[in-house]
Structure 1
């Protein structure tokens, strides 16, 4: 636990001296959890991240270059970071070693005035469970999991809940405890269990994204950079521009993969599939109208001028330019006439 010893000595210094000791980075193995940390500037936020499911890392994978989930993202934003990576598939950050470490760590963070937490699913559970202990100011959760204590959330009947029962859910930090933290929780309201978990976070701002699912169902959101952009805004500004967020989710609706994922997530609901089909048709009509309006505003004359200028020396290039112009304005008689001449 090198970090605890370093922080204990570091706290004896005045603030200016503390700043001169930075940057400082390192890592510790806490039984079935690995922690990596980097402190760069006392005036920057301190971000805590906990890894989600699907990051099945083993102890033998822990090289000097290994970075836990969220660590590189924090580095790119030039903030202080402490990232926790669970080792193995079913780890829920319940080990005594980790809890002891966090309890000691919480007493050594006084110099950091702004503290943030960010997590998806299982990682979000850990951020929420330790938020009060770590005195977090702002948190960001995707795909909420408030607890796996079956006495608290008896309606969470996912297979992951059954697997999680191998851990101790009776001792401390087994449930959300946000303290004074504010922030955001982002989830799919059509996912019943996620919705019920989200209701247990009334002090957070709820942002709903229909069809985002939970876990692997949301891989297409990762592909489009959805999570990353929201997290970057949160880390940089400690808040999310909700108007921009709405615009971003609206943009997702224009992608066919979004509807494919929605259809997959709602495959067993004929009612929802019918609604999705109607919404998809309306959107397709809107997209077609938008494209036509956009095309009407494009001046293709420069393309035609260049094509005519070079039609003798470079007829093939002229044809390609005219074909592009025809794609933009399919019914233009001049473009059609020149193409017939050149072909």
Structure 2
């Protein structure tokens, strides 16, 4: 637990002495969770991240180059980062070593400018469960699970709930406890379980994305860097550009999969399916008009696709491509937004 010893000394030093000892980077194994940290400046935000489901890393994967979920993204935004990566498939951040570490860590992070939390699904549960303990100021949660305590969430009948019952869901940090944290929760209201979990986060700003589903790998959102763009806005500015968020989610309306998801979610409601059918017919006409309107315009999508694909490894090349795209389509808001992020 090198971080605890280092922070205990570092937080009591004068600022000029603190800066001489940064950056401080390292990692520790906490039972079945790996934590990696990169501390650069107490006057910059400190971001806590917890990994979502979908990975099956094991202890033998923990090389010096290993990066937990969202760790590299946070480093690029020039903030302090403490990232927790679960090991194994069925892991809900319940190991006693992890809980003890966070309890010891909590009083050592009060001197940072602002404390942020970011998590998806299972990771969102952890952010919510530890938010009050860590005195988080702002959080960004994508379709989080509030708890797997079946008495508090009897409507969560997913298979993951039954598997999770091997853990203690009555002890410490088993349920959301946001404290004074504000921020955002993003979810699909047509998913009944996600909607019910989200309802328990009453103090957060609810941003609903119809048809998103409960998945961190929604290809039609990831194609445009949706998750990453929202996270970057939050990390950099501690808030989300709502107008840009609405613009990005609007792309869903032109995808047939969007309506297939909604129809499936509302299969038991004839009234809602009738409304969806009407909306779908309107969309078909709107989409045809949209295509006709833009037929005469130069197609900049290939430039966007290449720029987005290589923006991490070759940001300067991506900027040049986006600048060309902007010359061809000067009023395109997506191009303008991506250029602002990369510059």
TM-score, length of structure 2 as denominator length:
0.81
**Cα displacement (A) at 1:85:** 0.4
Tell me how far apart the structure 2 counterparts of residues 58 and 274 of structure 1 sit (CA, whole Å): 48
| Residue 292 to residue 150, structure 1, CA distance change in 2 (3 Å) | same
Q: Classify the secondary structure of the residue corresponding to 1:44.
A: coil
1:54 corresponds to: 54
- The aligned runs of 1:137-176 (5 Å cut-off) are 137-176=137-176
Q: Which residue of 1 aligns with 2:222?
A: 222
Change (3 A) 1:54 1:266: farther
What is the alpha-carbon distance in structure 2 between the residues aligned to residue 293 and residue 12 of structure 1? 63
Q: Tell me how many residue pairs correspond in the alignment.
A: 298
Report the equivalent of 2:199. 199
Alignment check: 8 A CA contact 1:212 1:262 kept: no
Q: For the residues of structure 2 that align with 1:62 and 1:265, how far apart are their CA atoms?
A: 39
Does the CA-based 8 Å contact 1:46-1:115 persist in structure 2?
yes
Q: Is the 8 A contact 1:49 1:117 kept in 2?
A: yes
Q: Contact 1:51 / 1:84 at 8 angstroms: preserved in 2?
A: yes
Shifted more, 181-190 versus 37-46: the winner is 37-46
Which deviations, in whole Å up to 9, do the C-alpha atoms of 1:254-287 show, x marking residues without a partner? Answer: 2344445545656776665554443233222112
Counterpart CA distance in 2 for 1:297 and 1:122 is 43
Aligned pairs (5 A) from 1:118-129: 118-129=118-129
How far is the alpha carbon of 1:295 from its aligned partner?
Answer: 4.6
Partner of 2:315: none
Q: Which moved more, 1:162-171 or 1:13-22?
A: 13-22
Are the counterparts in 2 of residues 184 and 207 from structure 1 also a CA contact under 8 Å? yes
Q: Note if contact 1:37-1:82 (Cα within 8 Å) is conserved in structure 2.
A: yes
Q: Deviations over 1:95-120 (max 9, x none)?
A: 11000000000111132120100000
SS, match of residue 134 in structure 1: coil
Q: CA deviation at 1:212?
A: 0.7
Deviation at 1:43, TM superposition (A): 2.0
Larger radius of gyration: 1
With normalisation by structure 1, the TM-score equals: 0.81
Task: Find the aligned partners of 2:260 and 2:45 in 1 and give their Cα distance.
Answer: 39
The 5-angstrom pairing of residues 194-343 of structure 1 reads 194-215=194-215, 218-262=218-262, 275-295=275-295
Native 8 Å contact 2:190 2:262 kept in 1: no
Looking at structure 2, the residues matched to 181 and 216 of structure 1 have their Cα atoms a distance apart, in angstroms, of 23
Following the alignment from structure 1 to structure 2, what is the Cα–Cα distance between the partners of residues 47 and 60? 26
Structure 2: state its 5+ residue gaps: 299-343
Question: What corresponds to 2:41 in structure 1?
Answer: 41
Cα 1:126/1:216, change in 2 over 3 Å: closer
Uncovered stretches (5+) of structure 1, i.e. residues with no partner: 299-343
| Counterpart secondary structure, 2:132 | helix
Instruction: Report if aligned partners of 2:190, 2:265 keep a CA contact under 8 Å in 1.
Output: no
Once the 2 structures are TM-superposed, how far is the Cα of residue 5 of structure 1 from its aligned partner?
1.2
Q: CA deviation at 1:14?
A: 1.1
